[in-house]
Each structure stands twice: as structure tokens, then as C-alpha cells.
Amino acid sequence: MKQTIDARGKACPIPVVETKKVLATLHEGDTIEVTVDNFIAVQNLSKMAGQKKYPVSSEKIDEDNYIVKLTMNETSSKETAEVTEETVCIPDSRINKTVVVLSSDKMGEGDEKLGYALMKGFVYALTEQDQLPETILLYNNGARLSVEGSDSLADLKLLESQGVEILTCGTCLNHYGLAEKLGVGSVTNMYVIAEKQMQATKIVNP
């Protein structure tokens, strides 16, 4: 049996609480699909599933919609989901409408080797911040940072796992012959790049 929950527009802990209520009625082999509209909700549901030993997977449907699928197995079905249990929400540390623009794979002018090292350090430093940007835009040589083999790829993946939107210019990837090597985030176009910057309240361009 498959159950579905539409938890879009609902703040934590509501998606988790509603999911626990349905899980308490399921049996081994049953599944539940929860639709949410933000990555923090995906993380909270995945965290709960891990604690309860429910197999879980998630899929990004589009920019604003995700589906989280949980399955009851023999182990998890023996553990009743207590809806009264305290649910700890993962805080959303992203700063709304803050955009980081990476238009080069090196930082600053002067020695290129130093510039590459500085950019690698900058992207890593972003992962260590208490507050994260909402979006990172990569274009021109900056597109090289989000492809396979990039020294910054692991850090960008970590940022994406925390809900940061990673967008790389498709024209730039094609220009450098890297269209098939994108390793994180999604491909975007100049209209979206312009829109994101026009709507931003803060733009960081190292």
C-alpha cells in the first residue's frame, strides 16, 4: 500500500509529525511519499527516517518541489512511530536572497596559482559559515568549479546538501566542452542568472 502526503507550505515540524502519524498505521512493505517544497524539509524527513531505521530516498521534481519516499521494512515496522516524540528541526541557515557569484575559477588578480588556491579556500570557507547563501551562480571560468575533477566539487556538493541552490551557466559549460561533466547543481541560463541577481538583497562576488 502507498500513502501520499502533500506537506508543501508547511513549516517544520509539521511535515515530520504528519509523516509519523501515517507511518504508525503502515505495515511492512508499505510506502509513503511526502511532497515538500524546500530542501530543509527533505533533510528533516531523512533525519527522522534514519533515526527510525526507515529506508528513505528523495527526488527533486523541480526547483520548488521534492518527493521523499519512506518504506516500512521488518526492522522499522517493529518500532512504532510515536507522534508525541519531540521533533528537532534542522535550522535553515541560508540567508534569503543572498547570492554568491563565481565568475572565475581563481580569486583576485596576480599569480594564477595563488588565485586558484584562494578560490578553493573561499568555496571551502563558505561551507564553514554559520549562515549560507541561498544561491551560488557560476559562469564563465567559474563554471569549471562545478564539474567533475574540480577541487571545489566536494565543497559545492556539501553546500547543496544544506539547501544551497547551485546554478551553472549552460552556455559556459558548452563553450568549454564541459556540458557532460557537471557534477553538482543544475544548468541555468542568462535570464535566470540576471533574475537571481536583480532579486537579490545581497550579492557576494569574490
pLDDT value at position 84? Answer: 43
Write down the domain spans for the chain: 2-77, 94-204
Distance, in Å, from the CA atom of 50 to the CA atom of 115, rounded to the nearest integer, reads: 41
Q: Is the dihedral of CA 70, 74, 79, 83 positive or negative?
A: positive
Q: Which residues have C-beta within 8 Å of that of residue 171, sequence separation ≥ 6?
A: 189, 190
Cell 506537506 belongs to residue: 7
- In CATH terms, 2-77 corresponds, of 2.60.40.420, 3.40.190.10, 3.30.110.40, 3.40.50.720, to 3.30.110.40
Q: What is the pLDDT of residue 87?
A: 62
CATH superfamily of 94-204: DsrEFH-like (3.40.1260.10)
Q: Is 185 left (phi over 0), alpha (psi -120 to 50) or beta?
A: left
Say what the pLDDT of residue 73 is.
81
Predicted confidence pLDDT, tens digits, the chain (206 residues) = 899 999 999 888 899 999 989 988 888 889 999 999 888 888 889 888 888 888 999 998 887 789 999 998 866 555 544 444 556 677 778 888 999 999 999 999 999 999 999 999 999 999 999 899 999 999 999 999 999 999 999 999 989 878 899 999 999 999 999 999 999 999 999 999 999 999 999 999 99
Q: How far is CA 60 from CA 34, 63, 66, 133, 185, in A?
A: 12, 7, 4, 20, 11
Residue 188: strand pairing partners: 169
Instruction: Give the count of beta carbons closer than 10 Å to the beta carbon of residue 140.
Output: 15
Q: What is the pLDDT of residue 79?
A: 53
